[in-house]
Amino acid sequence: MARALKPVDVVTIGVGLTGSLAALELAKQGLKVVGLERGAPRDTVPDFQSPAIHDELRFSIRKGMMQDNVKEAVTFRNSSDQTALPIRRWESFLPGTGLGGSFVHWNGQCFRFQVADLIYKTHILQRYGKKFLEACGPELTIQDWGVTYDELEPHYDRFEYLCGVSGKAGNIKGQIEPGGNPFEAPRSREYLCRR
Amino acid sequence: MSPEQQDGYLKSLEAGGKDLGGVPSDVFFAHLWQSTVEGFFSDPVYGGNRDMVAWQMINFPGAYASYYDLVDQHGIKIDRRPMSLAEDIHGHVHMNPSIPARSP
């Protein structure tokens, strides 16, 4: 029978990267937050303790931190004329599970989108025209994200400084910086850490 | 079957073309091979690799928790006795083949 729990202000569905950061910000504002996450609880000790965490068979080969595809399968096909089959071994993408989600085994690569990536439909329209998009047929469902690079930039900047992302800026406020990637979208400032 | 016949049968599985009740024999062989390698080379905590013979054979040092004291030493040979995940501070190995390969 369903048991009614005491109401809280916010419930996050999932406590991965997004859920935990949102919960932190909301809790800082004084809201009571409960996070719901599948899987067993886990903590730095003992779950990430050395040497058990270096178990290659369990984590690297058997993907011990990933979604259990015996319980929750994902089907995949390479083209629309195939029948999609369940993925038995994770290879090309690794859906996380448990507290921390995929952020627990994130590679730490932290690239920004280009300006055009966030307005891709508009970008293609401006560059190649309406006929080009129509010629691709109804299967092309390309859309703009609804948020622009300039709107996101302060948030990119905040996250990179929070995580200590390292690199060399190639474009600070439109000024090309020697040593960095000249094609990147403009940043408001240099990286916190130099690579 | 004689050892030669066994080898011949395994080779024919590996080559593929046999249907083992819906499973192609080369797919079965690949899985068998992977499991055999895992059984021999994985940590003794899983019940195989007894006395870490596989690791001694290839000079693999096993699951040392920390290389902190060696991190700034270069060109040295690590020739210590291998160490298991299942080993306690007294060197006793506690097998636990029921460790889940996945998070519960």
Contact check, Cβ <8 Å, A51/B42: no
Q: How many whole angstroms from its chain centre is CA A88? A: 23
CB atoms B85 and A63 under 8 Å: no
- Dump pLDDT digits (tens) for B34-50: 999 999 999 988 888 98
User: Do the beta carbons of residue A140 and residue A124 sit within 8 Å?
Assistant: no
Q: Are residues A35 and A97 in the same domain?
A: yes
A42 touches chain B (CB under 8 A): yes
Q: How confident is the model at residue B104 (pLDDT cuts 50, 70, 90)?
A: very low
- Are A95 and A161 in the same domain? no
B16: Cβ contacts below 8 Å, ≥ 6 apart: B24, B25, B26, B29
Q: How is residue A113 written in tokens? A: 């989108």
- Residue B21: exposure state from Cβ atoms within 10 A (0-12, 13-18, ≥19): exposed
Q: Which residues contact A3 (CB under 8 A, 6 or more apart)?
A: none
Q: Does A63 touch chain B (CB under 8 A)?
A: yes
Question: Does A99 lie in the same domain as A45?
Answer: yes
Parts of chain A with a pLDDT under 50: none
Evaluate whether residue A25 is within a structural domain. yes
Confirm whether A192 is domain-assigned. no
What is the pLDDT at residue B26?
95
Q: Which two tokens stand for residue B32?
A: 């068998």
Q: A189 in a domain, yes or no?
A: no
Q: Does A1 reside within a domain?
A: no
Is pLDDT of B99 > 80? no
B101, A62: Cβ pair inside 8 Å? yes
Does some domain include residue A194? no
What is the DSSP secondary-structure string of A176-189?
A: E-TTS-TTSPPBSS
Asked, for residue A98, whether it belongs to a domain, the answer is yes
In this predicted complex, what is the ipTM?
0.77
Which residue type, as a one-letter code, is found at position A78? Answer: N
Beta bridge pairs of residue B20: B23
**Enclosing domain of residue A149:** 115-176
Same domain, A69 and A135: no
Q: Please give the model's pTM, rounded to 2 decimal places.
A: 0.73
| Domains in chain A, number | 2
Contact residues on chain B for A62, CB-CB shorter than 8 A: 101-102
Residues B11-20: what's their mean pLDDT?
91
| Interchain proximity A64–B104, CB inside 8 Å | no
Handedness of CA A28, A29, A32, A38 (dihedral sign): negative
Q: Do A99 and A130 fall within a single domain?
A: no
Task: List, for residues A43-67, the tens digit of each pLDDT value.
Answer: 888 888 888 888 888 888 888 888 8
Of A40, A51, A57, the CB nearest to B38: A57
DSSP string, A45-92: HHHT-TTGGG-IIIIIIS-TTB--TTTS--EE-SSTTSPPEE--S--S
Do residues A37 and A101 both lie within one domain?
Answer: yes
